[in-house]
Amino acid sequence: MHEFSITSQIVQNVLAEAEERSAKKVTEVQLVIGKLTFLGLEQVRFAYEALTKGTIMEGSNLVIEEQEGIVQCGNCGYQGDFKYEDDPLYHVPLPTLKCPKCSNTVTITAGKECTIRNIKMLV
Amino acid sequence: MREGVSPLAQLKKSVVKAEEGEIYDVELSEDLLKANQRLAEENKRLLHENGAKAIDIMGAIGSGKTSLIERLVRLLKDRYRIAVFKGDLTTTIDAELIARHGVETVAINTGKECHLDANLVKKALQRLNLRIINLLLIENVGNLICPAEFPLGSDKRVVVVSVTEGPYMIIKHPFIFMDADVVAINKTDLTKPMGVDVKKLEKNVKTINPKAKVVATNCRTGEGVEAVAKALGL
């Protein structure tokens, strides 16, 4: 939903890092984007291409690693994927905060991140 | 983003000397969504230091968020010193409705943004004398998607969903309901004409988020509003 503003922040941060190191060119940017964010990867790529034009990031390789959603149960210690409710009506399985093992309520521990993990640049 | 070059940046620059034409690998781990989360934590701390708690009210356009706030204000204004932040793209129409009840109201106009964020709330907090309030109600922009991504620093989050939004609104937006402490199913007087089963909606909420408290309300008459306040611990 907010790909353009988030990608604009990503580009600004990368350019600032590149400037600090007097880089001539940025060749690759690696991002980690959680599956529970509302960021569409296709839109991120589109915004990235548009926003890097005319900068030292133009033409750089954008690598996006997706982080699965992970939940943890405070009751039985379960850690892993959501429990999904499956119903033909839902079209895709409905994620729930119910522990798949003990039905207690779980908390989300991963899947909401949007991180610049690595930048490769030519100096 | 950056103003000038920080001492830390200078230090990094002086230590690492890559040769001309060499590929330089920079490891980072700054989370861009965390910037909002950090500001939200600051807002919460500021409110708590001043003895105030905050409730964030979310929901679709026209679900009855403002009506619920008006009812909560009428119910609680003798027990709490209340202020209200009213988020909207533009106009102060709803903010004026709330201010009529004699509570301090700040209209936050986001312009084009579809949600409030922690920075806008921080700015609005600067307009308040925090010492004289102990309960802040924040009405988010009408939207069931984006507000889930942007915490504001509230202690509890309410989602208002009305029966006029049809039978599938909850299962279509699971993530905002995962964030809810209390869900108000509003406009229950229209259940029959809409052919919507409130029990089914309640079951949908409980399936997604077993911990959420669900209350049926009719904010025009005030029915169920005391139960909402109770569910919020107010």
Q: Give the one of A10, A114, A121 whose C-beta lies nearest to B26's C-beta.
A: A121
Q: Give the one of A98, A104, A117 whose C-beta lies nearest to B29's C-beta.
A: A117
Give the range among A21-30, B19-28, B71-80 with minimum mean pLDDT: B19-28
Binding-face residues of A in 55-114 toward B, CB within 8 A:
85, 89-90, 94-98, 103-105, 108, 112-114
Nearest CA in chain A to B25: A120
**Residue of B141, B149, B159 best to disrupt the A interface, most CBs of A under 10 A:** B149
Q: Give the one of A2, A12, A113 whose C-beta lies nearest to B1's C-beta.
A: A12
User: Coil, strand or helix: which one is B21?
Assistant: coil
A122 torsion bin: left (phi>0), alpha (psi -120 to 50), beta (else): beta
Beta bridge partners of B24: A121
Residues of chain B contacting residue A21, judged by C-beta atoms under 8 Å apart: 12-13, 16, 18, 24, 26
Which CATH number do you get for residue A36? 3.30.2320.50
- Predicted structure pTM score: 0.82
- Which residue's entry shows tokens 């919020």? B232
Residues A58 and A95 in one domain: no
Residues A101 and A117 in one domain: no
How many domains is chain A built from?
2
Residues A12 and A51 in one domain: yes
A123–chain B nearest CA distance, Å: 5
Smallest CA-to-CA distance from A5 within A104, A121, A114, A118 is with A114
Residues A89 and A36 in one domain: no
Strands (E), chain A: 25-34, 61-67, 70-73, 79-80, 83-85, 94-96, 106-110, 114-122
Domain that holds residue A74: 70-108
Instruction: Spell out the residues 6+ positions from residue B196 whose beta carbon is closer than 8 angstroms to its own.
Output: B163, B166, B167
Q: Give the one of A12, A85, A114 whose C-beta lies nearest to B33's C-beta.
A: A114
Nearest CA in chain A to B170: A94
Nearest CA in chain A to B146: A1
B211–A10 CB contact, under 8 Å: no
Residues A49 and A14 in one domain: yes
Q: In what order do the strands lie in the sheet with B53-59?
A: B104-109, B82-88, B135-139, B53-59, B156-162, B182-186, B213-216
- Which residue's entry shows tokens 């640049």? A121
Q: Any idea where the domains of chain B sit in the sequence?
A: 32-231
Q: What is the pLDDT of residue B165?
A: 96
In CATH, what number does B32-231 get?
Answer: 3.40.50.300
Q: What is the pLDDT of residue B26?
A: 77
Give the range among A45-49, B8-12, B104-108, B158-162 with minimum mean pLDDT: B8-12
Residues A14 and A56 in one domain: yes
Q: What is the pLDDT of residue B8?
A: 59
Q: What is the pLDDT of residue B16?
A: 42
Residues A75 and A99 in one domain: yes
Average pLDDT per 10 consecutive residues for chain A, totaling 123 residues: 86 92 93 91 94 96 95 95 83 86 92 91 90
Residues A96 and A43 in one domain: no
Confidence of residue B197 (pLDDT cuts 50, 70, 90): very high
Residues A52 and A96 in one domain: no
Q: What is the pLDDT of residue A1?
A: 62
> Which helix H or strand E contains B31, and what residues bound it?
none
The percentage of residues in chain B with a pLDDT greater than 90, rounded to a whole number, is 67
Residues A11 and A39 in one domain: yes
Residues of chain B contacting residue A117, judged by C-beta atoms under 8 Å apart: 27-29
